[in-house]
Amino acid sequence: MAEKTIDHAFTATELKSAATDPTYAGVLSFMRRRYTKSLEGTDAVVWGIPFDAATSNRPGARFGPQAIRRASAIFDNDPQYPFERDLFADMAVIDYGDCLLDYGNHWQTPDTIEKEAAKILAGTGFLLTLGGDHFVTWPLLKAHVAKHGPLALVQFDAHQDTWFDDGKRIDHGSFVGRAVREGLIDPVHSIQVGIRTHAPDDCGIRIVYGHEVEELKSGELAELILDHVGDRPAYLTFDIDCLDPAYAPGTGTPVAGGPSSAKILSVLANLRKLDIRGADVVEVAPAYDHADITAIAGATVAMYMLGLHAERRALRG
């Protein structure tokens, strides 16, 4: 035990080092990555946005980043399935902590998120964000587009989030429509997967409904996504309510009839050719969870997002 350490999130001496904390102990950063506000030498950054004032049903996603970090401890210090690699052997990743928001002045929230995200993106190659409700994706998109230009949106969700608003609302159900109107995303090459509700406007985005997800094999669905997006740079957003409530009960607006975590993770694993410039996992609300089912699903999706980035880096050499 002499060569081992605990609390790797603080005791790590290099960003690519493996952790040795027991799964059940130690400081709970995301996958035991070092907690730091220094972006020097980073290839990717994990960041939390504990915000849920935009929810239309059950609140609680402000506790999502904590729950996802806690569940991610199970991935500590192993080659990660299905990538067959230690994700951090050749990729320096930190946990940047959380975004500081004023709960009494929600009108300031979008600007605060956008500015902090832009600061992070100026110092690293890839930002993975843990929400929070789905409103946070709008200011995140603004920051990413400022760096990369308009992006194709790849959205896993039970909801289209295209309800109209006046451009000022703090609403998790309208950010996609707003992003299209503002030219942040290219609707022609954007796609929404797992939709099980109807909104008045599809904004020209390709929709794969829940019953279609059920009928398609995982590889077929992944190929559909890749063909639709093509070689365009993309932003990947995953609302945990894309999954059936049996696999993700801890969320604000659960919708029956969704896919299993196994199927959607298989889809994600097949998106290695997707040019993902940024990603988020949102709407994990642990107060409604059971035995960390939803938190584990959210942490696994987030790990897959880092895995996809690692694979993309390897493909680029």
Q: List pLDDT tens digits, range 89-142.
A: 999 999 999 999 999 999 999 999 999 999 999 999 999 999 999 999 999 999
Is residue 3 assigned to a domain? no
Mean pLDDT of the 204-213 span: 98
The fraction of the chain above a pLDDT of 90, given in percent, is: 84
Per residue in 149-175, pLDDT tens? 999 999 999 999 998 888 888 888 889
72 has a pLDDT exceeding 50 = yes
pLDDT for the residue 111: 97
Known binding-site positions: 134, 157, 159, 161, 239, 241
Q: What are the backbone dihedrals phi and psi of residue 149, each rounded to the nearest 5 degrees, phi first?
A: 85, 175
> What confidence tens digit (pLDDT) does each residue in 269-295 have?
999 999 999 999 999 999 999 999 999
Confidence of residue 188 (pLDDT cuts 50, 70, 90): very high
Tell me which DSSP letter residue 13 carries.
S
Indicate the pLDDT class of residue 1, thresholds 50, 70 and 90. Answer: very low
Q: Hey, what are 194's tokens?
A: 């797992």
What distance in Å separates the CA atoms of residue 75 and residue 96, rounded to the nearest whole number?
19
Per-residue pLDDT, averaged over 212-223, amounts to 98
Query: Per-residue pLDDT tens for 24-37?
Result: 999 999 999 999 99
Close Cβ partners of 104 (under 8 Å, ≥ 6 residues apart): none
Residue 163: inside a domain = yes
Q: What is the CATH number of the domain that holds 122?
A: 3.40.800.10
**Predicted local distance difference test score (pLDDT) of residue 18:** 83
**Tally of domains within the chain:** 1
Domain assignment present for residue 2? The answer is no
Domain that holds residue 198: 8-316
Q: How far apart are CA 248 and CA 241, in angstroms?
A: 7
Residues 241 and 255 sit within 8 Å (Cβ to Cβ): yes
Q: What is the 3-state secondary structure (H, E, C) of 28-65?
A: CCHHHCEECCCCCCCCEEEEEECCCCCCCCCCCHHHHH
Task: Order the strands of the 206-209 sheet from edge to edge.
Answer: 34-35, 93-98, 44-49, 127-131, 276-282, 234-239, 152-156, 191-195, 206-209
Annotated binding-site residue numbers for Mn(2+): 134, 157, 159, 161, 239, 241
Q: Say if 233 falls within a structural domain.
A: yes
Q: What is the DSSP letter of 18?
A: P
Res 96: pLDDT? 98
Does a structural domain hold residue 289? Answer: yes
